[in-house]
Amino acid sequence: MGAKYRVTSLGCKVNQYEAQHLREALEGFGLTPAGPGEPPDLAVVNTCAVTSTAARKSRQAIRRAAACRTPVLVVGCSTPGEAERLRRLPGVCAVLGHDVPLPTALHDLLVQKLGFEPPGSTRAQEPLETCVAVEHPAAPENDGWMMPETRQGTRQEARRRAQLTMPIISPPADDVKSGRTLDASIRRFDGHQRAFLKVQDGCDANCTYCIIPKLRPVLRWKPIPRAVQEVADLVAAGHREIVVSGIFLGAYGRATARAERLRETGRPLADLVAALAQVPGLARLRLSSLEPGDVDEALLAVLAGYPACVPHLHLPLQSGSARTLRRMGRQYGPGDYLDLLDRVRCGLDRPALTTDVIVGFPGESEEDFAATLQLAERAGFVKIHAFPFSPRAGTAAARRSPDFVDGTLVRTRMARLAELEASTSLAFRRQFVGRTERVLVERRIERPGQPPVCVGHADRYFPVEFTAGALEPGAVVSVCIEHVDNLVTRGRLEERNDECRSKNE
């Protein structure tokens, strides 16, 4: 019987992607996943370090994994800052940083340290593409699909702007030689209908509450041809939606995330999205977090011009207070954010906006929090991911303990923000009652004595449930929205359903 492995992953979309890359690499050496209750021969813990709580939970996960005397491999964001501490934990056999070549490191660990005899090596990485510009075709015409009118021009003009020929950018030769490009790729995304695609790594933005620039300071990115091939592989594996992710996605193809240091020209993120949106068989393409400065006219034109691109953007706000945003070290003010919202609503058809907000940042006054509520109400977010401030050792914000906000007050503000979110989400979803939305089925729920129900996310990111019929997870279907309340959005499966784009007739 071959060796078994188990991967435990904490943290964000990038961590989940990297965990899948580890699974595929281990399986390339002949290991297989351990089943439920089955002790593995190797445990892998993919750590998170974005907050002190996350770092503590990562160490707890390592101890649990080692409880059955299983050797533990530690990877992830905690490794650069806590390598020695992690190595001293019982059961830890190796700690791997982000930039270690994974196939070589795993071979050395499995053969030399653990005495495994893997039957083969991981699949060879494809060679880096040569540094040439390749032109890809314009966005296809789609009868019956209409773009919204915008203040910048008519639907036809917006479509024309999206159809401008855009070069596929390959990395400069110096980036290839220095290893600044991302080589890792995956062929499937276990346990998910939507697959994450990591195209960027590293951040040097240095927000005062964030430790990531100290842990992942080197900015790297994946060449467009390689990203296109990876999406094709994921679609072939059955994933109809791809979520494009990165540590600082807006810095894709750039040497820095700091706007004042940026010297490059061009539109690398827009070029990437345009290329990915044309992969045959891809139903939906979604972007993860973007900063206000990342969403330029080129990107909006691409999002509006390709049917695979959904009208949804996740735009972290963090605070609506100009004073608090300066203390956070954010690269925008409330006015910049509001201007972005206007541009997004002009360029996209009733876009869904989701966001992140930190509540109780050191020194946050009632006036500061009121500004956040006011801006959030104006934005009309369909989802607000709210987080109480958590001091992270090693960051500037953590040193401001005299300004920490009382925990009871933070919880009260969190509740007020949640109440506002319920109101804005309800108002946003109500406008789609009687209209048809495209939904990716993610779960099928069977209840005794009742017809089965499917649950999935619409293009605009709100969850929808409807009577399932014969549908299974992975289907992309048209659903007419019939009922919306604070708890749920319900719809009816369209009788004629060709798994095409969202239509509002």
- pLDDT-based confidence at 301, cuts 50/70/90? very high
Q: What is the pLDDT of residue 115?
A: 77
The answer on pLDDT for 458 being more than 80 is yes
- pLDDT-based confidence at 37, cuts 50/70/90? confident
User: What is the C-alpha end-to-end distance of the chain, expressed in Å?
Assistant: 57
Q: What is the pLDDT of residue 497?
A: 61
Q: Which residues pair with 467 in a beta bridge?
A: 453
- pLDDT-based confidence at 116, cuts 50/70/90? confident
| Mean pLDDT of the region 185-206 | 93
| Mean pLDDT of the region 294-322 | 97
Structure tokens at 491: 């719809």
| Mean pLDDT of the region 424-446 | 96
Return the domain boundaries, the chain.
4-113, 154-310, 436-493
- The domain at 436-493 falls in which architecture? Beta Barrel (2.40)
Structure tokens at 353: 């906006």
Q: What is the pLDDT of residue 83?
A: 87
Contact of 86 with 46, CB cutoff 8 Å = no
| Mean pLDDT of the region 391-397 | 93
Rounded CA gap, 107 and 99, in Å? Answer: 16
| Mean pLDDT of the region 197-225 | 94
| Mean pLDDT of the region 309-315 | 97
Q: Reduced to 3 states, what is the DSSP secondary structure of residue 464?
A: strand
Q: What is the pTM of this model?
A: 0.84
| Mean pLDDT of the region 162-166 | 37
Rounded CA gap, 96 and 19, in Å? Answer: 13
Q: What percent of the chain has pLDDT over 90?
A: 66
| Mean pLDDT of the region 99-115 | 79
Structure tokens at 333: 């003010």
**Cα-flanking dihedrals φ and ψ of residue 31, to 5°?**
-75, 155
Same fold, 4-113 and 436-493: no
pLDDT tens-digit readout, 60-86: 999 999 988 889 999 999 888 888 899
Rounded CA gap, 97 and 57, in Å? Answer: 19
Topology of domain 4-113, CATH: Rossmann fold (3.40.50)
Topology of domain 154-310, CATH: Transcription Regulator spoIIAA (3.30.750)
Q: What is the pLDDT of residue 496?
A: 61
Mean pLDDT over each residue of the chain, to the nearest integer: 85
Contact of 93 with 71, CB cutoff 8 Å = yes
Q: What is the pLDDT of residue 148?
A: 31
